[in-house]
Amino acid sequence: MQEKLVRIGVFYDGNYFLQVSNYYAYGHQRKRRISISGLHEFIRDQVAEEEGVDPRFCRIVDAHYFRGRLNAYEASQRGDTLYWDRVFDDILMSEGVTTHYLPVRTTPEGYKQERGIDVWLALEAFEQAFYKRFDVLVLISSDGDYVPMVRKVNTLGTRIMALTWEFEYTTDNGQRMTTRPSQDLLAEVTYPMAMHGIIDQRIARNDSKIHRLFVQPDQKRSTVDRDEDHDQEEGFESHGEGEIMSLKNGYGFIKYPPNNLFFHFTNVIDTDFNELHVGDRVEFEIEKDGEGNDVAKSVRVL
């Protein structure tokens, strides 16, 4: 009976993972974000298959997430960005993922750029592989800049699995971008995983394991829905009007003092989300999300 664990280290290129998750939330028929816990389960199963071992003996012993991030002041000027950053931090923390952030730099032309985060990931990955002796290091990135790191980690006898995607997406500035994995990177890793193809094939087969790769609908319904009469007695306001203050890839925020209200593109009615503009006056229904926060539903342009 096998007793030795297959030790797995996972390293996220955070900006790349964000683009992947946005793609599945807004550009793919799935309309769901990637689940961190579901992705880790997928990784364990996939490593077990590639290594020819029982999945019970495959364990993620270390995981790290790297990304450039706006400073607190800039984030506070962008709707509820600080809140959603904290929500995602909580998710990463609950899955045992160590976070590494560097401040995003603004160029003279006004563009936001990550600087040095890929170097930090590469150095940390090699150092952790050296000290913790991973059997398999999983890299969530398609960037050819990581080829030198892959070669160095290979000298330790550590196999590398690269999770890569190929898809198109639209940036915050409306620019259409195409992402494809570096062929140099794929040639260097032990287990190249073309995730876009794997996911689409398994969705077509209605594979239950692939469904867990995505965030599941929140099963916890707010008691507001069941206690509508009580809410009215307490002065709960279910309808409102306000002005759109920001729009991003598939979601936005409505100015509605004392708090700005989040809304998703699936909650827009009688018009397409892409036809909305900052400054538009809208009416909406106010409901509670799974965390008890007010959000806007049934959003309609006035």
Query: Which tens digit of pLDDT belongs to each residue from 280-291?
Result: 999 998 887 766
- Mean pLDDT over all residues of the chain? 85
Instruction: Return the pLDDT at 174.
Output: 62
| Backbone region of residue 13 per phi and psi (left: phi > 0; alpha: psi in -120 to 50; beta: other values) | beta
Q: Is 207 helix (H, G, I), strand (E, B) or coil?
A: coil
Q: Is 186 helix (H, G, I), strand (E, B) or coil?
A: helix
Q: Which residue has the higher pLDDT, 8 or 250?
A: 8
Lowest mean pLDDT among 27-36, 70-79, 93-102, 224-233: 224-233
Residue 299 has pLDDT above 50, yes or no: yes
* Distance separating alpha carbons of residues 42 and 50, to the nearest angstrom: 12
* Distance separating alpha carbons of residues 250 and 263, to the nearest angstrom: 9
Most confident of 146-155, 219-228, 247-256, 285-294: 146-155
Answer whether 0.95 is exceeded by the pTM: no
Alpha carbon 42 to chain centroid, angstroms: 15
Tokens 């730099």 appear where?
105
* Distance separating alpha carbons of residues 58 and 157, to the nearest angstrom: 17
Instruction: Return the pLDDT at 220.
Output: 36
Residue 230 has pLDDT above 60, yes or no: no
